[in-house]
Amino acid sequence: MNVRNGLLTILSVFLVAVANAQLLSPAAFLGYEIGTRHTPHYLVQGYFQHVAQMTPDRVKLIPYGKTNEGRPLFVAIVSSPSHIASLESIRMNNLRLAGLTLDKMAPTEQDHPALVWLSYNVHGNEASSTEASMVTLYELLKEGNDMADWLKQMVVVIDPCINPDGRDRYVNWYNGVVGSQFNPHPGAREHQEPWPGGRSNHYYFDLNRDWAWQSQVESHLRMQLYQQWMPHVHVDFHEQGYNEPYYFAPAAEPYHEIITPWQREFQQAIGKNHAGYFDKNGWLYFTRERFDLLYPSYGDTYPTYSGAIGMTYEQGGIRAGLGIVIEDGDTLTLVDRVAHHATTSLSTLEVSYRYRQRLISEFRKFYQQSMAGQFSPYKSYVVKVQPHEKELAASLLSLLDRNGIQYGYGTGTSAKGLNYATLKEENFLAQATDIVISTQQPRSALLQVMMEPVTKLADSATYDITAWAAPYAYGLSAFASKEKVASVAAPVSTLIKNDNTSYGYAIPWQGVQAASLVGKLLQQGYKLRYAEAPFSVDGKSFRAGTVLVLKTANERFGAAFLSNVQRLADQAQIKLHAISTGLVDKGFDFGSDRVRPLLAPRVGLLAGEGVSSTAVGEIWHFFDQQLHYPITLFNASSFGAADLKDIDVLIMADGRYRALDGKEMQDDIKGWINAGGKLVALEGAVAQLAQGDWGIKAKKKSEATDKKDSDPYESLSLFGERERDYLSGFTPGAIWKVSLDTTHPLAFGYGAHFYTLKMDDRTYEFIAEAGWNVGVIKQEPPLSGFVGNTLKPQIKDVLSIGQLSMGRGSITLFTDDILFRSFWEAGKLMLCNAVFFSAD
């Protein structure tokens, strides 16, 4: 009897071991059904690791980095055993199909699998898609379905969570406020996510607007992996308002004009297949509305401009938690949302399997057209680079490198092209320092979209900005030429090694790197000065804003002072100019009061409820990751007069501030400014100042006056045209040329013009007294982007950038977002000017 019991025990242990060695469903692994709880990232990672361990011949996990908060980023590659064993060969052959390899091996279409990439949870609080990724993974691999046949013809890449920091911010908050049973009432606390919400990443960036620019670590790391594979189909899974039904392709107009007939055709096929499943299950959906294919930095457009079929799927569900009552009285649950996303995931793979050969042949054709330059009306883009623009040019080259775009340098030849500054055909010279970009290259389609001077719109009702051309964003002169402009390869760069000096250094104020070096020197306690006007010394000419590091006033640091400055500059690769005397050839001597002390400002930034989290994030990220200068984030709701004593500069990003509503706090801020404080206001903060007694006034909207011959019925609006009527007074984002007063410290480091991206209808009068109109929009029309016909005439002779004088302090006014999504590189130095320089 004992022997029998012992054998049974051994058998039980054996069966348990066998069961544990089998592939578990998400529910079996997690201990709860998918959709009944929100799964934190570490458990999602654990499930993917379990699947990879149980099916190593069909799944390979590839880590591609970590988030700002240290969470792992990874994808799972799922395919047949034979494909998993030869992934590198498949990857290289796919790149050869696109002409993206240096080797001369001929690619083959025969037996090449279709590559499908599924990206989930780019917005952290759109939480259903990560749950759906686990369901999709399991369904692909479990026994008893025909998906094994799909995997013999496809390689599937699953990124379960693009934004783990944002997702865990939401999941941890939600799990901390939900009870033992979820409350479906829309007003319940669990549906009122606090600021900043989980949508964005650590620095409050919207990662779905960052595909092309790659300003964030998650985007940069992901795109490195993406460009090693270049899939044929890419889907970006999202959620929208919880009252909305499901959205899937085909997309809405406007489509960018370079989108191919095949890319449109496949979207139609996808839509029909999805509709079949949704109709069968009685699920509502919509297509061809709201979500267009234009702005190049989305998870659908960037893949589309890279030869793939790029698509967005949107499930209703933001703020829905585990369940919420929607407007028709039904309760939408997380279980429902997961089921919808899992269904479109598998339906996408089904259609891709069906069209696999066409996907591959059309992908190859796309890149053949790119190599022939067929996606652009131009043959060359030429970016002019002045000596003081080298840092901006280097930033542009970094953008091109990140996107695999090839370029060269001018050879001194003359050519003709469209001048971005005037939108007129003009002659120019492509000099040796100028960047020349041919449109006959593999990434020509993406290049065209990122560089085109004017984007053509098939429909003005678009989801995002309508202008973004890189030369405007980087503040560089450029030409789009229909001629093939000769170019040569980039010269071999040499490391900067600065000269020794016994008197001091001049640091040209030419970009953020120079500002970062200056900030580092200030933090170490060095005494610096800056020139308010141009000067010449030792036979060299310097522009206004040049920073001086002199032995005078820094003798307490000893003999090693200047060598330490030299070392820091060498590390940052900043060119210093050794100077031997304070007696200048032209301009003001270094002891003049026009060569002013530069002090280390203590900088504060208001954040929290009422303030745009993305606007705060742009500034926080800039100071923390690019300028490397300390900034204190204050909670806007509790900020008070006592906090003002601890800062010299206060930045108010786009938002509505309680501090500007009450008279007592307004008086405290004004007193602080009069005593020398500097207030920097952007966008909505400027609008709020314009409502009070601060010296800035909104411009009144002009009205048409000649109405004697007009038809009175023409002014009557049709209900069905209400959205179109709204567009007449609207701009989603268009570019204007701003004329600068280059003698003012806010414009130090700039030329005569700055390009601003205007995204609202707010306009302001010129500052009449006690201030300076540093940047103004004159009579010129916008250079690029959609502007409604009633709004366009309003944006003339208006203030764009200004500074109000108040006692010993100032208020700097940026009416637009000068750091927009961190890709508007031209505005970053201007924010540095507002922080470091004074005009009193």
DSSP-derived secondary structure for 731-779 = -SSEEEEEEE-TTSGGGTT--SEEEEEE-SS--BPPP-SSEEEEEEE-S
Per DSSP, the three-state class of 610 is: coil
C-alpha to C-alpha distance for 381 and 483, rounded to whole angstroms = 9
The radius of gyration of the chain from alpha carbons, rounded to an integer in Å, stands at 29
CA 472 to chain centre: 16
**φ/ψ (deg, to 5) at 509:** -90, 85
Q: What is the DSSP code string of 575-586?
A: --EEE--S--SB
Q: Is 572 exposed, middle or buried (0-12, 13-18, 19+ CB in 10 A)?
A: middle
Residue 15's pLDDT is 36
**φ/ψ (deg, to 5) at 803:** -145, 125
588 token code pair = 């003001």
Q: Is 596 exposed, middle or buried (0-12, 13-18, 19+ CB in 10 A)?
A: middle
Nearest C-alpha neighbor of 510 from the set 385, 671, 624, 342: 385
Mark the ranges of the chain whose per-residue pLDDT is less than 50. 1-20, 704-707
The residue type of 688 is Q
The residue type of 503 is Y
Task: Judge contact between 309 and 263, C-beta under 8 A.
Answer: yes
Among left, alpha and beta (phi > 0; psi -120 to 50; other), residue 733 is left
Task: Judge contact between 792 and 481, C-beta under 8 A.
Answer: no
Task: Judge contact between 473 and 552, C-beta under 8 A.
Answer: no
C-alpha to C-alpha distance for 695 and 746, rounded to whole angstroms = 18
Residue 6's pLDDT is 46
Among left, alpha and beta (phi > 0; psi -120 to 50; other), residue 35 is left
CA 706 to chain centre: 44
Largest CA distance in the chain: 111
Sheet strand arrangement including 59-66: 59-66, 72-78, 154-159, 114-120, 233-241, 309-318, 246-247, 285-286
Rounded to 5°, the CA angle 782-787-790 comes to 110
**φ/ψ (deg, to 5) at 199:** -60, -45
Rounded to 5°, the CA angle 253-254-255 comes to 95
Q: List Cβ neighbours of 585 (8 Å cut-off, separation of 6 or more).
A: 535, 536, 537, 538, 539
Residue 460's pLDDT is 64
C-alpha to C-alpha distance for 505 and 529, rounded to whole angstroms = 11
- Tokens 């549906």, located at residue: 191
- What is the model's pTM? 0.94
C-alpha to C-alpha distance for 561 and 752, rounded to whole angstroms = 36
C-alpha to C-alpha distance for 384 and 370, rounded to whole angstroms = 24
Q: What is the DSSP code string of 184-205?
A: --TTSGGG-PPTT-SSS-TT--
Nearest C-alpha neighbor of 610 from the set 655, 659, 662, 661: 655
Beta bridge partners of 325: 331
Q: Is 265 exposed, middle or buried (0-12, 13-18, 19+ CB in 10 A)?
A: middle
Size of the chain in residues: 840
Buried b (16+ CB within 10 A) or exposed e, 383-407: bbbeebbbbbbebbbebbebbbbbb
Task: Judge contact between 629 and 623, C-beta under 8 A.
Answer: yes
Nearest C-alpha neighbor of 447 from the set 394, 488, 407, 484: 407
Q: Model confidence over 212-245: pLDDT tens digits?
A: 999 999 999 999 999 999 999 999 999 999 999 9
Cβ–Cβ contacts within 10 Å for residue 826, how many? 23
C-alpha to C-alpha distance for 483 and 415, rounded to whole angstroms = 7
Q: What is the DSSP letter of 808?
A: T
Residue 104's pLDDT is 81
Q: Is 493 exposed, middle or buried (0-12, 13-18, 19+ CB in 10 A)?
A: exposed
Q: Alpha helix (H) ranges present in 162-252?
A: 164-177, 217-229
Distances (CA, A) of 188 to 318, 321, 324: 14, 10, 9
